Amino acid sequence: MPKLSKSHQSVYNLGASKPEIALSAWIAPSATIVGAVTIGHQSSIWFNCVLRGDDNTIKIGARSNIQDGSVVHIDPGEFDVVIGDDVTIGHSCLIHGCQLEDCAFVGMASTVMNGCIIEPDGVLGARSLLTSGKRVKSGELWMGSPAKLVRMLSEEEIRSFRKTAQSYVRKGERFRLEFSQG
């Protein structure tokens, strides 16, 4: 079976803005990446994700994963999206004009709005809405709509969340090397 080439991916320039994708990253063929988007070493962008860097920049560090059906977007002006290293963004999330620092975790079907910051090892639980300008501090678990601080995470929980990012590095590498059309 032939391997999918980069030509099968929906990666588009927008004017002078051109995506920059590390060769070791894995991008699902149904993902769409437009404009000023940078994707780091061993990061993975899964099926049906949209990363639209049309008004500002989207920067994704190394070993981060954006899971199936998620959207990453920005507003013109002050809000870029900065996603650090080893970040996990669960399935069907909306990430908009915010910062997700190293080892941050965003649970499935959650929304993170403009000006928000999730610090290292901060966690936003599944189906949560983090409203504009909120900060999830290191080691905190926030949940709800609107999201509020629920409790501090244990060291064991932090290790578990970090393992998710590590598992997606392995999964992304497998897909990068083995994924093909049937």
The predicted pLDDT at position 182 comes to: 74
The predicted pLDDT at position 70 comes to: 99
Provide the residue type at 110 as one letter: S
The predicted pLDDT at position 5 comes to: 41
The predicted pLDDT at position 76 comes to: 83
Class of domain 6-177: mainly beta
CA geometry: angle 15, 19, 22, nearest 5 deg: 160
The predicted pLDDT at position 2 comes to: 34
> 24: Cβ–Cβ under 8 A, 6 or more apart, which residues?
41, 42, 173, 176
- Asked if residues 85 and 168 have their Cβ atoms less than 8 Å apart, the reply is no
Chunk the chain into consecutive blocks of 10 residues (it has 182) and report each block's average pLDDT, rounded to whole numbers: 49 94 95 97 98 94 98 90 99 98 99 98 99 98 98 97 96 92 74
